[in-house]
Amino acid sequence: MTQKLVVIGAGMASGRALEHLFEANADWDVTLFNAEPRGNYNRIMLSPVLSGEKTYQDIVTHDEAWYEANGVDCHFGTRVTEIDRAAKIVRADDGSEVTYDKLLFGTGSNPFIIPMPGHDLEGVIAYRDLEDTERMMNMPAGSKVVVIGGGLLGLEAAAGMAARGVEVTVVHIMGHLMERQLDEPAGYLLRKALMDKGITVKCKANSKEILGEDGKVRALLLDDGTELPCDLLVMAVGIRPNTKLAADCGLAVGRGIHVDDQMVTSDPDVLAVGECVEHNGAIFGLVAPLYDQAKVVAKTLMGEEAAFQPREISTKLKVTGCDLFSAGDFADGADREDIVFRDPARGVYKRLVIQDNKIIGAVMYGDTADGNWFYGMLKDGTDIAEMRETLIFGPAYQGGAASDPMAAVAALPADAEICGCNGVCKGQIVDAINAGAHDLGAIRATTKASASCGTCTGLVEQVLAVTLGDDFVMPSVPSVCGCTDLSHEDVRRLIKSQELKSQQAVWQELGWKTVNGCHVCRPAINYYLLADWPIEYQDDPQSRFVNERNHANIQKDGTYSVVPRMWGGITTPNELRAIADVADKYKVPTVKVTGGQRIDLLGVKKEDLPAVWYDLNQAGMVSGHAYSKGLRTVKTCVGKDHCRFGTQDSTGLGIKLEKLLWGSWTPHKVKLGISGCPRNCAEATCKDVGIVCVDSGYEVSVAGAAGMDVRETELLAKVATEEEAIAVTTAFIQIYRENAKYLDRGYKWVAKVGLDWVKEQVVDDLANRQALVDRFELSQTIYRKDPWADLAQPQKAERFAPVADFTMEAAE
Amino acid sequence: MSWTDIAALDDIPLRGARIVKTHAGCVAVFRTDENEVYAVSDTCPHKGGPLSEGIVHGKKVTCPLHNWVFSLETGEAQGADEGQIATYSVRVENGRVLMDLSQISKVAA
């Protein structure tokens, strides 16, 4: 006998379930209610509709004819208002009353709207249905839209509107886009591709309030005070299962409608399928598991045995030009290994996460052709031990021998492009070699290959090696560390020329072999980035050596030494009293006078540091940076104020220089000495910069040392005025900051580039001197600050104490 | 096993560590770039350096005193150095870091 099935919701899951029923010729009389005024369409294809690549007609799954052919009684644009489970009756707002033998919930989900101030303004929408899509499609070119949410849906909305000429800004609360599907490197590449499409992306951005005017949205306000003007605001921050109706009629509901493995709810005659269900604590938003559920629910209705089992799912983003693929689990957890492939020039990134010789996660960006192959092995739990070496290259490379990079270069045809920047092919390079260009410099000079961004340097060298055979010796500039083959000089050049402004950018674009560097390269990269991009890059304490992170010098017993700044070596009775008080209060075991005319408090416990700083701050003292690769001390003699031989105010100049230069980070430490006469009591001529005052002015000399090497400074310039002495000193420090290898002291760097070159840049070329001074000053707007005052604030000071202490608990 | 709440995940800096004081000495609780949490002895077997102050890279930490590198997963010294630090069970639940203190009580007893 024909049974009656009532379905609430004409979505993709319930639609698929009906297809299964009708295909099996199951004997059901179906009534279908849908709140949207239309039947089932392929909701996940709304993005191509938005971008104009498809029309609504293209994505309709079930048209009128289909419903009619299958005898479905359709109530579209109709809301079910009440379910009487005892009487098995469904009532709807069009006045209809329908009885059922079985009831199927396919009520889907509701977009989550963050209840922040202004969320109810006109012009604030979600991205869920055709109405939302049409609203976005109707935005004229040049109008402004803000999308909150950098997940799958938000980005598809953003890209679709950007393709229509709308100015789109994506605001995302997390550190990188699509954090649930992508790891940080892939997120970075995606962000870059979206920015290339003209979309502004703001990560780590907290929305605070939606601002309106006459009841209509005007702008989004972030909690850092930024206002993002917009004509439309799209919230794509997630979905919540739509459970209201189910809860109202007394079904068991958690986050979603509770179902068992057969998709039956707490009432044996009521079933549920799709985004509205909760199964074993999980809810579902992607289409693959929904289709699995649809199959199960159809079988259950037909009285056949079936059980729903969640499986690994994969994700692809439907944005033209952004190829990405993600499947499985690629974060968190121990005992996992990564296989990573990076090709920055092509923008390709692939990462496989391996556990017990099985793929458990895969993230790919740029080239996703092998995604399904990896996904298949992930689902099947294939043992990959045998193919591990070539696994990442995909199915085409299995069973062959491990490849030799030289052979690959040798096999390239003459018209293969080697240098993308200058469009130089292998043939041109070979011709140049045959014409006598036998090293990298000569190739750069004759063909321009590798002369721009330098990414292809390795390839050019391989062409040289293949062409010249044993006559070519690969140059061996030491690399930064095992994480890269690039030298410090190459990395610095590439950070500037490719405008790399974050650590992720460096790891990605320069093909780092490790996820986030090591203790050797991270401090160097952190320094290069902050020196070259002081405004754009934010200093990362976690990439710094302990002393620079804790702003004190660690001692061999784990305590610290604290050195307050004394400008130019001048102090006061009040400062000395404060130092003495601190030494008493915190039981500082050793107090020592340093070679740089400062007082060192040795043996301070880490948890006492913030309090020690606070007390010193109260007396007007700031960090002496005795721990930094940065400006340390300016040592002075008393100068003409007191000394009968003094020619200038060396103390005053020292104080001025120290107040100008303090807080700046440099490749290695920088010490200055200012002597008031050639007797040189401040020992200026063994400092990084030494100034000796004479009757007629100031002799500025540089590149001295008094450590493992002892060097006398060399004269950089003799100038007449104090202003010039300050400008030359500042310009010298800035050019050292911009060019030297990390951990090269000034004298080592000057020996490499030559003092003549330095003179040209900072003494002879006045415009360049001024530009260097300006760039230094720009950087100092960020870094000329007392780190102690910052870290002594209560919420930051907390971090200096143990996070928990179990030694106070009574022993058992 | 006795899981004890020791901190919020956010109390530990990304690519950093905080210490927990116990009867058996300080334990360093690390948080990697990928939000994995590991607990190991804070004391470097070489010269006693505080590992919690080291630079965290991948799933490894470098001792701040003499650059010994340890795997946070196994506690083994990497490269040419030979040594082993104790590792402790730790897990993250609802943004809280839980540690198995029973391992430590055993050491202390």
Per-position DSSP letters for A109-141, written without gaps between them: EEE-----TTTTSBTEEES-SHHHHHHHHTSPT
pLDDT of A17 reads 94
Say yes or no for a CB contact (<8 Å) between B62 and A556.
Answer: no
In 3D space, the residue among B69, B100, B6, B17 whose CA is nearest the CA of residue A542 turns out to be B17
In words, the CATH class of domain A405-471 is mainly alpha
Please tell me if residue B65 touches chain A, with a CB cutoff of 8 Å: yes
Q: What is the pLDDT of residue A420?
A: 65
Q: In Å, how far are A502, A507, B86 from A535, measured between CA atoms?
A: 12, 20, 42
- Which residue, A696, A702, A664, is CA-closest to A677? A696
**Residue-level pLDDT at A201:** 93
The b/e string for A319-338 (b: 16+ C-beta within 10 A; e otherwise) is: beebbbbbbbebbeeeebee
Which residues of chain A form CATH 3.50.50.60?
Answer: 3-110+241-301, 124-237
Query: What pLDDT sits at residue A230?
Result: 94
Contact between residue A597 and residue A633 where contact means Cβ atoms under 8 Å apart = yes
**Would you call A542 and B21 a contact, using CB atoms and an 8 Å cutoff?**
no
A276, A305, A357: which is closest to A11 by C-alpha? A276
Do the Cβ atoms of A144 and A231 come closer than 8 Å?
Answer: yes
Indicate whether B20 pLDDT > 90.
Answer: yes
In chain B the first and final C-alpha atoms are separated, in Å, by 16
- The string of DSSP letters for B31-77 reads E-TTS-EEEEESB-TTT--BGGGSEEETTEEE-TTT--EEETTT-BB
**pLDDT at residue B34, rounded to an integer:** 87
Identity of the residue in B15, B29, B101 whose CB atom sits nearest the CB atom of A803: B29
Which pLDDT score is estimated for A607? Answer: 93
Q: pLDDT tier at A407 (50, 70, 90 boundaries)?
A: low
- Does A403 have pLDDT greater than 60? no
* Residue ranges of chain A assigned to CATH 3.90.480.10: 546-623
φ, ψ dihedrals at A173, nearest 5°:
-75, -25
Instruction: Please check whether residue B6 is in contact with residue B92, taking contact to mean a CB–CB distance below 8 angstroms.
Output: no
pLDDT given for residue A677 in this prediction = 94
Sign of CA dihedral A295, A262, A97, A242: negative
Q: Is A680 left (phi over 0), alpha (psi -120 to 50) or beta?
A: left
* Residue A179 predicted with pLDDT over 90: no
In chain A, residues with a C-beta closer than 8 Å to the C-beta of B34 are 183, 331-332, 515
Residue A606 to chain B, least CA–CA distance (Å) = 11
Q: Which residues of A touch B (CB under 8 A)?
A: 183-184, 331-335, 514-519, 522-523, 541-546, 549-550, 554, 556-558, 799, 802-807, 811-812
A124-237 falls under which CATH superfamily? Answer: FAD/NAD(P)-binding domain (3.50.50.60)
Enumerate the residues of chain A whose CB falls inside 8 A of the CB of residue B25: none
Q: Which pLDDT score is estimated for A394? A: 79
Average pLDDT over residues A608-622: 96
* pLDDT at res. A467: 86
Strands B3-8 and A697-702: unpaired
Closest-CA residue of B relative to A544 is B55
Residue A178: predicted pLDDT:
85
**Minimal Cα–Cα distance from A607 to chain B, Å?**
11
Pick the more confident residue, A240 or A591. Answer: A591
Query: Helices A766-783 and A521-532: crossing angle, nearest 10°?
Result: 110
What confidence tens digit (pLDDT) does each residue in A224-246 have?
Answer: 889 999 999 999 988 889 999 99
Measured distance CA(B14)–CA(B16) in Å, rounded: 5
Report H helices in chain B. 102-108
Beta carbons of B20 and A184 less than 8 Å apart: no
Q: Residue B52 and residue A288: Cα distance in Å, rounded? A: 44
Residue A231 near residue A145, CB atoms below 8 Å: yes
Mean pLDDT throughout A528-546? 95
Tokens linked to A645: 């031989």
The answer to whether residues A114 and A147 touch, using CB atoms and an 8 Å cutoff, is no
Q: What is the DSSP letter of A41?
A: B
Q: Kindly state the percentage of chain A with pLDDT values over 70.
A: 94
Whether A334 and B48 lie within 8 Å, measured CB to CB: no
Q: How far is A801 from A795, CA to CA, in rounded Å?
A: 11
Question: Is the CB of A333 less than 8 angstroms away from the CB of B36?
Answer: yes
| Token couple for A576 | 């000395």
Cβ–Cβ pairs < 8 A, chains A and B: 103
What pLDDT was estimated at residue A163? 86
Query: How is the beta sheet containing A714-719 ordered, strand by strand?
Result: A631-636, A670-675, A689-694, A697-702, A714-719
Q: Residue B37: pLDDT band by 50, 70, 90 thresholds?
A: very high
Q: Considering only CB atoms, which chain B residues are within 8 Å of A806?
A: 4, 20-23, 101, 104
CA distance A165 to A198: 9
Residues pairing with A693 in the sheet: A698
Length of chain B: 109
Give the pLDDT band (50/70/90) at residue A451. low
Looking at chain A, how many residues does it have? 812
- Per the CB < 8 Å rule, is A803 touching B67? no
Task: Give the torsion sign (CA, A607, A608, A612, A618).
Answer: positive
Inter-chain touch B13–A806, beta carbons under 8 Å: no
Identify the pLDDT of residue A362.
87
**Which pLDDT tens digit goes with each residue over A65-122?**
899 999 999 999 999 999 999 999 999 998 999 999 999 999 999 988 888 999 999 9
The rounded distance, in Å, linking the Cα atoms of A188 and A39 is: 39
Which superfamily is assigned to A546-623 in CATH? Sulfite Reductase Hemoprotein;Domain 2 (3.90.480.10)
Q: What integer pLDDT is reported at residue A401 of this predicted model?
A: 43
A422, pLDDT greater than 70 = no
Please give the ipTM for the structure prediction.
Answer: 0.91
The position carrying tokens 């795997």 is B71
Q: Is A681 annotated as a binding residue?
A: yes
Measured CA to CA, the distance from residue A160 to residue A166 in angstroms comes to: 9
Residues of A in contact with B88 (CB under 8 A): none
**A323-397 — its CATH code?**
3.30.390.30
How far, in Å, are A79, A576, A640, B58, B61 from residue B78 at the CA level?
65, 47, 58, 13, 10
Q: Which residue in chain A has the smallest CA separation from B72?
A: A334
Nearest by CB: B18 against A514, A557, A802: A802
Where residue A475 falls among pLDDT bands split at 50, 70, 90? low
d(C-alpha A56, C-alpha A761), whole Å: 64
- Compute CA distances A739 → A459, A657, A714, A810, whole Å: 25, 22, 19, 58
Chain-chain contact of A804 with B7 (C-beta, under 8 angstroms): yes
Residues A449, A460 contacting (CB under 8 angstroms): yes
Residue type at position A319: V
User: What are the φ and ψ backbone dihedral angles of A100, each rounded to 5 degrees?
Assistant: -140, 155
Contact B33 A522 (CB under 8 A): no
> Could you tell me the two tokens for B85?
């630090």
Q: What is the pLDDT of residue A454?
A: 56
Strand (E) or helix (H) holding A219: strand A216-222
pLDDT tens-digit series, residues A196-219: 888 999 998 889 999 999 999 999
Domain B3-108: which CATH number of 3.40.50.620, 2.102.10.10, 2.130.10.10, 3.40.50.180: 2.102.10.10
CATH topology of domain A631-785: Sulfite Reductase Hemoprotein; domain 1 (3.30.413)
The answer, for B9 touching chain A at a CB cutoff of 8 Å, is: no
One DSSP character per residue, A332-348 reads: S-SS-EEEEEEETTTTE
Say if residues B29 and B8 touch (Cβ distance below 8 Å). Answer: no
- Which of A186, A175, A173, A177 minimizes the C-alpha distance to A159? A177
To the nearest whole angstrom, how far is the Cα of A379 from the nearest Cα of chain B?
24
What confidence category does residue A21 fall into, taking pLDDT thresholds of 50, 70 and 90? very high
pLDDT tens, position by position, A269-325: 999 999 999 999 888 877 778 888 999 999 999 999 999 988 766 766 666 667 778
What average pLDDT does the segment A562-574 reach?
96
pLDDT tens figures, A371-402: 777 887 888 888 888 888 888 887 767 654 44
* Edge-first strand listing for the sheet containing A97-99: A80-84, A89-92, A97-99
| Nearest CA-CA distance, residue A351 and chain B, Å | 14
pLDDT tens track for B51-104: 999 999 999 999 998 889 999 999 999 887 889 999 999 999 988 999 988 877
| pLDDT tens track for A496-526 | 888 999 999 999 888 898 888 999 999 999 9
pLDDT at A408 over 70: no
The answer, for B29 touching chain A at a CB cutoff of 8 Å, is yes
Mean pLDDT of chain A: 89
Give the whole-angstrom CA distance, residue B57 versus residue A226.
33
pLDDT at A399: 55
The answer to whether residue B108 neighbours chain A at the CB level (below 8 Å) is: yes
The answer to whether residues A372 and A359 touch, using CB atoms and an 8 Å cutoff, is no
Secondary structure letter of residue A761 according to DSSP: I
Which residues of chain B are within 8 Å of residue A184 when distances are taken between CB atoms? 33
Superfamily of domain A3-110+241-301: FAD/NAD(P)-binding domain (3.50.50.60)
Report yes or no: B47 at the A interface, CB cutoff 8 Å. yes
Residues A510 and A541 sit within 8 Å (Cβ to Cβ)? no
**Residue A677 annotated as lining a ligand binding site:** yes
For residue A12, give both structure tokens: 């993709």
Identify the residue whose tokens are 């102690």: A788
User: So where are chain B's domains?
Assistant: 3-108
Contacts of B6 in chain A (CB under 8 A): 803-804
Kindly indicate the confidence band of residue A366, based on its pLDDT and cuts at 50, 70 and 90.
confident
Mean pLDDT of A12-25: 91
**Selected residue with higher pLDDT from B8 and B1:** B8
Q: Do B20 and A515 touch (CB under 8 A)?
A: no
- How many other C-beta atoms are found inside a 10 Å radius of the C-beta of residue A441? 11
A335:B22 CB<8 A: no
